[in-house]
Amino acid sequence: MDNNFVRLPVYSKLAQVIVGLVAFFFILYIGQDILIPLVFATIIAILLNPIVILLCRKRVNRLVAILIALFLAIIVIAGVAYFIGSQMTMFSDSFPQFKVKFIKLTGNVENWVSHTFNISKTKIDGWLNRTKGEGINNTTAVITQTLGTISGMLITLLLLPVYIFMILFYKPLLLEFISQLFGKDRHVVVGEVLLETRTLIQSYLVGLLVEAILVATLNSIGLLIIGIDYAILLGVMGALLNIIPYIGGVIAIALPMLIAFATKTPVDALWVLIAYLIVQFIDNNFFVPRIVASKVKINALVSIIVVLIGDALWGVPGMFLSIPMTAIVKVVFDRIEPLKPFGFLLGDSQRELDKTVFAYKKRKKKNVKM
């Protein structure tokens, strides 16, 4: 027996775990400007790694292979950004027309509220003027915050290619570092975790891309049938917002409904709602289970919680990264014996558990009869 071994009470272990979690999430929060680009760069580097390996097998210099893969990624991202930007330019050209229709719609709503709830138009106009005044007073703060966000995004976009290149270039060094952290008896398990993590990220993001293309196509077709202006732009934006779990889908429905309500009729807005609900039904019951959810075995309760935590820590990027990062944590938990219960808690084994409980109840009934 080891005399140096100290057995801590349960409350002491619990206190250490709580302090460790608080410190961990505090570091994630204060270091988000550094960590968010690094996490995104790591994920993109994992996606580009097969291209680099393929080019190296074709006897292309490894440095040149990394540059080619990075160049292809930049072209794809720039193409998507150009398409969305061109559509947004066309949308901004029609903004004065939307403004006139929206003002007219606001007047109609004001008249309906005045007649329905017996409120004088003077009170409604006073409330609207006060709201406008508060909005004008807050304009400076909003502009400052927006400029800060845009500058942060530009810095991230400039750093992202550098991070991706460095991660791909120093991949052998990073893998050797990880191997030296563990003993030789653990190398097999560590290798399995790294392989499973790489496969998980690649399959999940590819599945997410396929799902986004299918959802954008269905959204655009539905809006074109209804006759909504800029249907393709709204369909693509809806698919991109749908990538954000749970919350993005609500915003994706609200945006085209608002435009339909302002430019068409309330009936058209209702048709937009019906069309998007049909697309969401198809997506949730056919696309997600077969294309995306089959890659990430995380139950719905944990998914909602980690999405909210990701939003609190890192905002929209945190909401997007929460699901794959939780899936990676589950892979690690499943490989470490003391942490397997937590991996089981994160997973989606409800059907198997139901079968086990049902079988237990049947055995219990048989024992009672005997």
Domain borders along the chain are: 31-91+128-172
Write out pLDDT tens, residues 241-293. 887 766 677 778 888 887 887 777 778 888 998 998 898 888 877 777 777 65
CA–CA separation, 327 and 333 (whole Å): 10
- Its pTM stands at 0.70
CA–CA separation, 230 and 194 (whole Å): 44
Which of 94, 86, 78, 87 lies closest to 235 in space, CA to CA?
87
Q: Which of 140-144, 164-168, 202-206, 350-354 has the highest mean pLDDT?
A: 164-168
Q: What is the pLDDT of residue 221?
A: 92
Which of 212, 214, 180, 178 lies closest to 194 in space, CA to CA?
178
Average pLDDT, the chain: 77
The more confidently predicted of residues 219 and 3 is 219
Structure tokens at 339: 């942490």
Residues with Cβ within 8 Å of residue 178, at least 6 apart in sequence = 190, 194
pLDDT at 53 exceeding the cut of 60: yes
CA–CA separation, 216 and 204 (whole Å): 18
Residue 212, judged by CB atoms within 10 A of its CB (0-12, 13-18, 19+), counts as: buried
Residue 44, judged by CB atoms within 10 A of its CB (0-12, 13-18, 19+), counts as: buried
Tokens 């400039």 appear where? 158
pLDDT at 132 exceeding the cut of 50: yes
Sorting pLDDT into bands at 50, 70 and 90, what band is 12?
A: confident
Q: What is the pLDDT of residue 1?
A: 46
Q: What is the pLDDT of residue 136?
A: 45
| Mean pLDDT calculated for residue range 229-247 | 80
